[in-house]
């Protein structure tokens, strides 16, 4: 089995720490006095520095040291956190990431400039940051004493997490003279002992002029897995006590509890057996394994091949009279369906992992453009295939940049229209059937329809005075090279953007809708399938060819009777329960050979808010569809999004309903043009 490079393991863990650090810093910018956030930032920096030095990333350790010390000063009350410190810390986080991922490309001058800015903000001269921690004004409860009595009780499952309690006791000895006594009251008889559980507690007499903060720092990374009581030597009451939250509710590091002498004694500890059971349940709940993305892709490919083989087996079983073969085929179909769902579930990633990336983008753009913006996310728990998540990142970046640059007005202009000086951008995701709707909405000025029309006329896209609806005018925003920006800047004006967004979304078999209310903002909605690997489809026949329609786009199937044909009178409209639904004859669209089936069927599909019927010769049935990409030679065939292999080994094309309807409308307009002439 191939072993991972230790430095690669460090890079992976450091990337997670840096992502977590960015989230903490952005939250800290909103609530600078939040002690838990300050502690979390310090712990992340401390871990990156220590691990970096351990794995030979000396530049990372040296650069991170100053920021770790600065946040140590913040958490000890020496200096206050503010937005400027958060901003320079975010720049430092980016520099640390570059030092880890590509150290040869980093310029030391950039790192020195970041550190100098930090020194200026915290009021410490260069080279003196490390000494500043020695000059502390500690609170009364953390004041130094000649000695301390410390009671230590770890959670039973702490050994399973790789923590060595004896190493922590050695760290305490480094503070001064220690006398350690092990308490074995909770240790059961040998035959009932679980060697993986830590049931020993310790009482430590520490003779050293240190503070409570220095003692707590020894246990910084296990605070939520232990009980720690600290009292001066000879005193009956503790001055500080750390008690973890219950396992079921624990979500943040425990806070220090300062206990007055008049307070009641703490409740008795839970029985040892109950402690062990809680630890085991906690370990089971949070256990996970890191898997390379390539292996998940390979697993999905194998499952896809299995689904194709299962379809072939089912077809053979249906043509056989052997009941045993039919039973086996049904069992294999059930297992393959379950394996497909499980594999797709493994590949599903919460949208929150994508949404969190944009907080930094909004923060930086808000600062650069001088527009205060609140960024709100909704539906972070909505899940999509990881491949979809990766492809969706760039389109959303452009939509959010557009919303801030073009949509949100300046604070002065918002004040003139009685709006709040702070703009609002909402990024939301929700399920609608087998699709996910991702919406970017702002409360800005909305689209300037007159300006878009004038730019379209200037570019020769429409004739002056042409009669177009607002929706049709807004669609010019998706035309290549179209931009209404007055000047070219780092953010806009080059006409590259919305057309790329539309092509990317359509390549994902999705659609994009744009709505606006002048003076109140705009909304862009992306309609996307859950996955690009395996879908449920409807197998149909048109002429001699067989095709797949994604089941998520199908609303209902009805028969096209002779009476319906007579009522339509060549206008291609169908009356479905009092509603007129236009339909396309796929035989005509595909130029199919042979006579049409006497009992044709209409498949009513939905594209956004539009319903369109597709007339086919036969509906064969549902089909688990493994999507295979078309070759580059077929890149201009837009009405099909891919192909699949049927049970008999033949191929069937997968229809892109949105593109199919667009092509049908184009042909209908071209057919009407000669008649009008």
CA distances from 400 to 305, 382, 439, 516, 518 (A): 39, 19, 10, 15, 19
Residues in the chain: 677
- pLDDT > 90 in the chain, percent: 7
Paired residues of 349 in beta bridges: 384
Residue 591 φ then ψ, to 5° = 55, 50
Please tell me whether residue 600 adopts helix, strand or coil conformation: coil
Give the number of other CB atoms < 10 A from CB of residue 157. Answer: 22
The band of 650, judged by pLDDT with boundaries at 50, 70 and 90, is: confident
Which pLDDT score is estimated for 177?
85
- CA–CA separation, 618 vs 602, rounded Å? 9
- CA–CA separation, 87 vs 41, rounded Å? 13
Give the number of other CB atoms < 10 A from CB of residue 239. Answer: 20
Q: What is the pLDDT of residues 206-218, one digit of tens each?
A: 888 888 877 887 8
Instruction: Choose among 550, 519, 509: nearest CA to 407.
Output: 519
Which pLDDT score is estimated for 389?
87
Beta strands 240-242 and 177-183, pairing class: unpaired
pTM: 0.62
Homologous superfamily of 534-676: SH3 Domains (2.30.30.40)
Tokens of 215: 């003692």
Please tell me whether residue 396 adopts helix, strand or coil conformation: helix
Least confident of 178-182, 243-247, 432-436: 243-247
Highest mean pLDDT of the ranges 270-279, 332-341, 651-660: 332-341
Please tell me whether residue 221 adopts helix, strand or coil conformation: helix
- CA–CA separation, 378 vs 399, rounded Å? 16
List, edge to edge, every strand of the sheet that includes 601-607: 554-559, 601-607, 610-616, 579-585, 573-576
Q: What's the sign of the alpha-carbon dihedral 452, 457, 461, 464?
A: positive
Considering only residues 280 and 166, tell me which one the structure prediction assigns the higher pLDDT.
166
Q: What is the pLDDT of residues 473-508, one digit of tens each?
A: 888 888 777 766 655 554 554 344 688 888 888 778
Beta strands 618-626 and 534-542, pairing class: antiparallel
Tokens of 503: 């092509």
Considering only residues 274 and 576, tell me which one the structure prediction assigns the higher pLDDT.
576
Residue 193 φ then ψ, to 5° = -80, 130
DSSP annotation of 75: H
- Is the pLDDT at 280 greater than 60? The verdict is no
**According to DSSP H, which parts of 384-532 are helical?**
386-402, 411-416, 449-458, 470-474, 498-507
Tokens of 560: 């096209």
Paired residues of 357 in beta bridges: none
- Using a 10 angstrom Cβ sphere, with 0-12 exposed, 13-18 middle and 19 or more buried, the burial of residue 142 is buried
- pLDDT > 70 in the chain, percent: 82
Considering only residues 536 and 268, tell me which one the structure prediction assigns the higher pLDDT.
536
Tokens of 664: 């049908």
DSSP annotation of 266: P
- CA–CA separation, 317 vs 580, rounded Å? 43
- Is the pLDDT at 253 greater than 50? The verdict is no
Please tell me whether residue 163 adopts helix, strand or coil conformation: coil
Which pLDDT score is estimated for 441?
92
- CA–CA separation, 150 vs 177, rounded Å? 13
Q: What is the pLDDT of residues 531-564, one digit of tens each?
A: 767 778 899 999 888 999 988 788 899 888 777 7
Domain ranges across the chain? 6-132, 140-282, 304-349, 351-529, 534-676
Are 658 and 609 within 8 A, CB to CB? no
Over residues 434-448, mean pLDDT: 86
CA angle 605, 607, 608 (to 5 degrees): 135
The band of 378, judged by pLDDT with boundaries at 50, 70 and 90, is: very high
Least confident of 72-86, 375-389, 650-664: 650-664
Over residues 82-93, mean pLDDT: 89
The band of 377, judged by pLDDT with boundaries at 50, 70 and 90, is: very high
DSSP annotation of 43: H
Give the DSSP H/E element, type plus range, for residue 513: strand 511-517
Where do we find the tokens 């393991």? 9
- CA–CA separation, 142 vs 76, rounded Å? 10
Q: What's the sign of the alpha-carbon dihedral 112, 117, 118, 122?
A: positive
Which pLDDT score is estimated for 243?
59
Please check whether the two domains, 351-529 and 534-676, share a CATH topology: no
- CA–CA separation, 355 vs 408, rounded Å? 20
- Is the pLDDT at 424 greater than 80? The verdict is yes
- Is the pLDDT at 677 greater than 80? The verdict is no
Mean pLDDT score of the chain: 79
Are 612 and 583 within 8 A, CB to CB? yes
To the question of domain 351-529 being in CATH 3.40.190.10, the answer is no
Q: What is the pLDDT of residues 600-633, one digit of tens each?
A: 889 998 876 678 889 999 999 888 787 777 777 7
Q: What's the sign of the alpha-carbon dihedral 271, 275, 277, 278?
A: positive
Render 88-112 in DSSP notation, one character per residue: HHHHHHHHHHHHHH-GGG--HHHHH
Tokens of 375: 């960024």
Please tell me whether residue 514 adopts helix, strand or coil conformation: strand
Q: What is the pLDDT of residues 654-671, one digit of tens each?
A: 888 877 877 777 776 666
Tokens of 191: 């035959």
- Is the pLDDT at 94 greater than 70? The verdict is yes
Paired residues of 375 in beta bridges: 425
- Is the pLDDT at 352 greater than 60? The verdict is yes
Please tell me whether residue 134 adopts helix, strand or coil conformation: coil
Please tell me whether residue 443 adopts helix, strand or coil conformation: coil
Where do we find the tokens 């990336």? 357
The band of 270, judged by pLDDT with boundaries at 50, 70 and 90, is: very low
- CA–CA separation, 535 vs 625, rounded Å? 5
- CA–CA separation, 653 vs 465, rounded Å? 42
Are 363 and 90 within 8 A, CB to CB? yes
List, edge to edge, every strand of the sheet that includes 545-550: 618-626, 534-542, 545-550, 651-655, 640-645
- Is the pLDDT at 72 greater than 80? The verdict is yes
Which pLDDT score is estimated for 489?
53
| CATH T-level topology, domain 6-132 | 1.20.120
Please tell me whether residue 583 adopts helix, strand or coil conformation: strand
- CA–CA separation, 48 vs 64, rounded Å? 8
Where do we find the tokens 């913040």? 74
DSSP annotation of 628: B
CA distances from 579 to 540, 564, 573, 574, 610 (A): 25, 13, 10, 8, 12
- Interacting residues of 407 by C-beta distance below 8 A, sequence separation 6+: 423, 442, 444, 445, 446, 521, 522
Over residues 378-396, mean pLDDT: 88
Which pLDDT score is estimated for 458?
82
Residue 336 φ then ψ, to 5° = -65, -40
- CA–CA separation, 70 vs 529, rounded Å? 46
CA distances from 76 to 180, 208, 213 (A): 28, 20, 8
């Amino acid at each position: 089995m191939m072993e991972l490079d230790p430095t690669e393991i460090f890079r992976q863990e450091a990337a997670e720490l840096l992502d977590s650090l960015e989230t903490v810093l952005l939250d800290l910018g909103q609530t600078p006095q939040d002690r838990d956030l300050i502690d979390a930032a310090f712990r992340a920096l401390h871990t990156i520095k220590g691990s970096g030095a351990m794995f030979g990333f000396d530049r990372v350790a040296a650069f991170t040291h100053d920021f770790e010390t600065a946040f140590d000063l913040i958490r000890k009350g020496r200096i206050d956190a503010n937005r400027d410190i958060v901003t320079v810390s975010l720049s430092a986080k980016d520099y640390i990431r570059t030092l880890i991922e590509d150290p040869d490309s980093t310029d030391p001058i950039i790192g020195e400039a970041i550190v100098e800015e930090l020194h200026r903000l915290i009021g410490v001269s260069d080279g003196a940051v490390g000494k500043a921690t020695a000059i502390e004004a500690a609170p009364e409860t953390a004041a130094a004493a000649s000695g301390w009595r410390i009671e230590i009780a770890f959670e039973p499952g702490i050994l399973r997490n790789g923590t060595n309690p004896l190493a922590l006791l050695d760290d305490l000895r480094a503070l001064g003279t220690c006398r350690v006594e092990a308490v074995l009251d909770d240790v059961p008889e040998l035959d009932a002992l679980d060697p993986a559980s830590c049931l020993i507690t310790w009482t430590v007499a520490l003779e050293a002029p240190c503070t409570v903060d220095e003692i707590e720092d020894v246990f910084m990374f296990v605070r939520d897995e232990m009980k720690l009581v600290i009292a001066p030597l000879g005193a009956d009451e503790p001055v500080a006590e750390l008690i973890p939250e219950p396992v079921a509710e624990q979500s943040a590091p425990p806070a220090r509890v300062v206990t007055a002498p008049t307070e009641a004694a703490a409740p008795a500890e839970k029985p040892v057996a109950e402690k062990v059971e809680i630890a085991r349940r906690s370990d089971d709940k949070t256990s996970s394994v890191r898997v390379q993305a390539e292996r998940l892709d390979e697993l999905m490919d194998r499952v896809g091949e299995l689904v194709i083989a299962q379809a072939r087996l089912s077809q053979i079983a249906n043509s056989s009279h052997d009941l045993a073969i039919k039973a086996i085929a049904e069992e294999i179909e059930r297992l393959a369906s379950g394996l497909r769902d499980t594999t797709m579930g493994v590949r599903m990633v919460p949208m929150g992992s994508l949404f969190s990336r944009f907080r930094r983008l909004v923060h930086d753009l808000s600062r650069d453009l001088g527009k205060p913006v609140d960024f709100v996310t909704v539906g972070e728990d909505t899940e999509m295939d990881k491949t979809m998540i990766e492809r969706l990142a760039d389109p959303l970046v452009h939509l959010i940049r557009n919303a801030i640059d073009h949509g949100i007005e300046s604070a002065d202009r918002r004040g003139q229209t009685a709006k709040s000086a702070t703009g609002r951008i909402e990024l939301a995701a929700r399920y609608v059937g087998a699709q996910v709707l991702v919406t970017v909405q702002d409360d800005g000025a909305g689209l300037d329809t007159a300006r878009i029309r004038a730019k379209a006329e200037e570019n020769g896209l429409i004739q002056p005075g042409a009669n177009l609806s607002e929706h049709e005018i807004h669609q010019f925003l998706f035309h290549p090279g179209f931009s209404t920006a007055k000047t070219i800047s780092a953010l806009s004006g080059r006409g590259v953007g919305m057309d790329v967004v539309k092509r990317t979304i359509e390549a994902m078999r999705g659609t994009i809708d744009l709505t606006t209310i002048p003076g109140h903002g705009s909304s862009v909605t992306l309609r996307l399938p859950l996955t690009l690997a395996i879908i449920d489809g409807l197998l149909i026949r048109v002429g001699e060819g067989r095709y797949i329609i994604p089941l998520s786009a199908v609303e209902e199937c009805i028969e096209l009777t002779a009476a319906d044909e007579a009522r339509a009178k060549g206008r291609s409209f169908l009356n479905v329960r009092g509603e007129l639904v236009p339909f396309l004859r796929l035989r005509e669209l595909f130029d199919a050979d042979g006579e049409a089936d006497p009992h044709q069927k209409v498949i009513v599909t939905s594209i956004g808010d539009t319903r369109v019927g597709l007339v086919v010769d036969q509906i064969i049935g549902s089909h688990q569809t493994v999507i295979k990409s078309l070759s580059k030679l077929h890149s201009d065939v837009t009405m099909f999004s891919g192909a699949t292999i049927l049970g008999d080994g033949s191929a069937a094309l997968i229809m892109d309903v949105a593109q199919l309807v667009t092509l049908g409308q184009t042909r209908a307009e071209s057919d009407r043009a000669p008649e009008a002439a």
